[in-house]
Structure 1
């Protein structure tokens, strides 16, 4: 079969992620899956992130059909490129300046004019797989006559909510004030009596005509022009929601958890962790793994807010007090940029003695951790998370109960599903005080509900493992995607 594959002309696909860690990582995993099947992939990062992705050569050596290319994001070199508070700066520049550059690149790759020395070895481009927040790529691809498949790196349940936001706005259910937060949402088919308004994507809290909300609405209207949609989820987890989304797209490919599917397809026990490290834009502090080795099984609460969430110093201290007072050992990721810019000058204030002492006794703090490995470690018994989708899927795969503190975008929806639908954790949405943090950590780690939650997350972990096996839904859906890509060979 491999000989036949080598004799046939192979597809050449361009992958174009939104320029942040949480989007680049799953799309780079997808790139490796496609390359493992013999497909040529040109992975296009912004120049800024291209330089941060330091293990490009190692990945290309492992997957010879993986080719990296960079493109300007149109921003000055000294721009901080932080989504908070520069989101609109970034997406405006991407649309106006990166869009035309992408079109030029597509022209070069489809016509086989020289883009770089490696381009001579590539077949003509046959498809663009773009991040669903970069839908200007659909226009660029239309101009050169090639198909586009979109990727949303968030959950299916949040994607469906985003697709329904225009209807919610029309019906007056968004935006909403604090006094309306607990009203049930009736305008998202299939989610009746599940969603409260506070559980909607965070853009639904933004005032009328807010530019960020307008951007997300525009992108989720534009995304339906794609010829298909790839989602990092699996049928058994979100089947009912996937059936609703299927009404908007010609084809849906649910192929998650991507990190687990890659390991299953390639069959290398070390691949998952090495690929995760290779896709990271931050340096991991692996000392935490030695610390975990010294802890009792199931005793540690792992805390991480992902790569984007910002905290005030007051919030940081409330979490700190709650963690120390809970009595559980804790591994805490505190990024160097976790504080809001207005709070940085207060960061060096004296830390209360009880927090210093409690951390020395039971805690370990790092700037960034190898999260997939941490969650898989037997010492970890709970995960205090921002409910980003990558983190949520990794916790499900590892069978780790979650305590959810969502802040941005899809995180509000994810946390509701974790607590109310899948019942694999508890939702601490819109709350951040030391007493609540302490109480919820104790409940998650030692409370009466822990056994019920643990059984539920174990069941979903088993379903996830089945989905990426040879007879599984995600494995089959990836085969379908690969087959469809082969039909597009120019």
Structure 2
């Protein structure tokens, strides 16, 4: 920093926010969108943003996205990486993500603390991924205000908060498959629709499971006095009843989503490009050209996300069900989708699975797709999804109804909200049978296409209204920015007082 810049910094301190996500695709993507929103909408004086990524994910981000050039346009923005020695390529698939959270708590904590001490200019506010409790612990220890960003759906956060009461009431653990449809009654606001099978995937364990205990502890720490402020990627018209419950315990709750649409809305009219990618995979844009050749609303988009791992036999069941439905589909099959022990050979679906199929009616990508663009394409009329939170919101904004096949974590409850509460699609959790796949695809794409379509279009309208000026998410972001500036100012004053006391 130059001497002149240092003098200006002292005269008019600029808040310096450090954003630290769990290093997996969905968390990195949504928190990068938040980083861009803060960089873009900081107002007079701005907000300086540092985005902290793992070495492994940052290399992939720079290789496969435009993030580096895009963020170069924002004064004061910087990427920082953290080298924690963890095998990210192994720990970011399937349920190993839970192991990643545990390992980061052990190995990354001291590295993070040292990094905070070395930052220049000093960090005045940390926005940490809500699933990584050590971020809060370190921030509190060094005296930096902390805001938690829960990248999952608010319903999952709310369930996590009430898990002690669920366990105490004997509603967990689940007593076998025959117990899965029993109602859960101890989560305020969800008593009428929440079943055992809709609880987050990590609840299907014994009541003393260590992973479950860590998730409960991390969530409950949010409500310590004073409760940590929360950022949520949702909007009031979507999650209003649960948000009202959450705000009783967490008054500082900022619902500023859908983040991807919010960013797009704020970028309109600026010189910054409105298209952006935060992908950790190479995106195959050829699928958009193929979609251009398909009739409107005729294609079912199939993508199970960046973490889901399935068995080869499950892949075959989906394939047979999809092709038997006679509907057009676009299926993204990323590397690692099939479990390592049964990994597919070569770069395509085995030829025996596609014999007799008219290939102009289907397209398979072995790689990754520009999902927001795909879902927004006129040819797409449905989405077979793992019900990850980002995918759910992207589908809602695009007005595309869903068939939900959740894998783990918040995806189980997301699929229940989509199907039972909002009536925006069908829930296929815990089932992988070609006949069920065929039936549900035809129900979504043919038999109830208009019914689901009307509801999806209305929800899309509300989502887009929420991020426009005067909308609930727009106003909540403005409030978040004001509070970040206030927190940063108070943190500087407190440090100044401590320094003066030490001198005296």
> Considering the TM-score relative to the shorter chain, is it more than 0.5?
yes
Partner residue, 1:87: 97
Partner residue, 2:144: 146
Structure 1 residues 153-162 or 438-447, which shifts more? 153-162
Q: How does 1:101-112 map to 2 (within 5 A)?
A: 101-109=111-119, 112=120
Change (3 A) 1:395 1:76: closer
Partner residue, 2:237: 236
Q: How does 1:323-334 map to 2 (within 5 A)?
A: 323-334=322-333
Q: Note the alpha carbon deviations across 1:333-352, whole angstroms, 9 max, x for none.
A: 11111011121277899946
Aligned residue pairs, count: 471
Q: How does 1:473-488 map to 2 (within 5 A)?
A: 473-487=472-486, 488=488
Q: Structure 2: how far apart are the matches of 1:462 and 1:339?
A: 36
Equivalent pair of 1:273/1:372 in contact (CA under 8 Å): no
Equivalent pair of 1:126/1:147 in contact (CA under 8 Å): yes
Partner residue, 1:167: 165
Q: Structure 2: how far apart are the matches of 1:142 and 1:299?
A: 52
Partner residue, 2:78: 67
Partner residue, 1:251: 252
Equivalent pair of 2:95/2:408 in contact (CA under 8 Å): no
**Aligned to 1:469, what secondary structure does the other structure show?**
coil
Partner residue, 2:438: 438
Change (3 A) 1:187 1:102: same
Q: Structure 2: how far apart are the matches of 1:352 and 1:86?
A: 31
Equivalent pair of 2:93/2:309 in contact (CA under 8 Å): no
Q: Structure 1: how far apart are the matches of 2:154 and 2:310?
A: 27
Equivalent pair of 1:382/1:400 in contact (CA under 8 Å): yes
Partner residue, 2:39: 35
Q: Note the alpha carbon deviations across 1:178-218, whole angstroms, 9 max, x for none.
A: 11111111111111121111111111212333333223222
Structure 2 residue corresponding to 1:15, chosen from 2, 12, 19 = 19
Q: Structure 1: how far apart are the matches of 2:206 and 2:452?
A: 36
**Aligned to 1:129, what secondary structure does the other structure show?**
strand
Equivalent pair of 2:16/2:125 in contact (CA under 8 Å): yes
Structure 1 residues 222-231 or 237-246, which shifts more? 222-231
Q: Structure 2: how far apart are the matches of 1:359 and 1:253?
A: 49
Equivalent pair of 1:330/1:364 in contact (CA under 8 Å): yes
Equivalent pair of 2:93/2:308 in contact (CA under 8 Å): no
Q: Displacement of 1:83 after TM fit? A: 3.9
**Aligned to 2:248, what secondary structure does the other structure show?**
coil
Q: How does 1:126-275 map to 2 (within 5 A)?
A: 126-176=124-174, 177-225=176-224, 227-267=228-268, 274-275=275-276
Structure 1 stretches of 5 or more lacking a match?
Answer: 113-122
Change (3 A) 1:180 1:346: farther
Q: Structure 1: how far apart are the matches of 2:237 and 2:272?
A: 25
Change (3 A) 1:252 1:296: same
Structure 1 residues 286-295 or 150-159, which shifts more? 150-159
Structure 1 residues 135-144 or 316-325, which shifts more? 135-144
Structure 2 stretches of 5 or more lacking a match?
Answer: 1-8, 493-504
Q: Structure 1: how far apart are the matches of 2:110 and 2:374?
A: 41
Partner residue, 1:385: 385
Q: Displacement of 1:353 after TM fit? A: 3.8
Equivalent pair of 1:313/1:346 in contact (CA under 8 Å): no
**Aligned to 1:274, what secondary structure does the other structure show?**
coil
Q: Displacement of 1:76 after TM fit? A: 5.2
Partner residue, 1:368: 368
Q: Structure 2: how far apart are the matches of 1:458 and 1:322?
A: 27
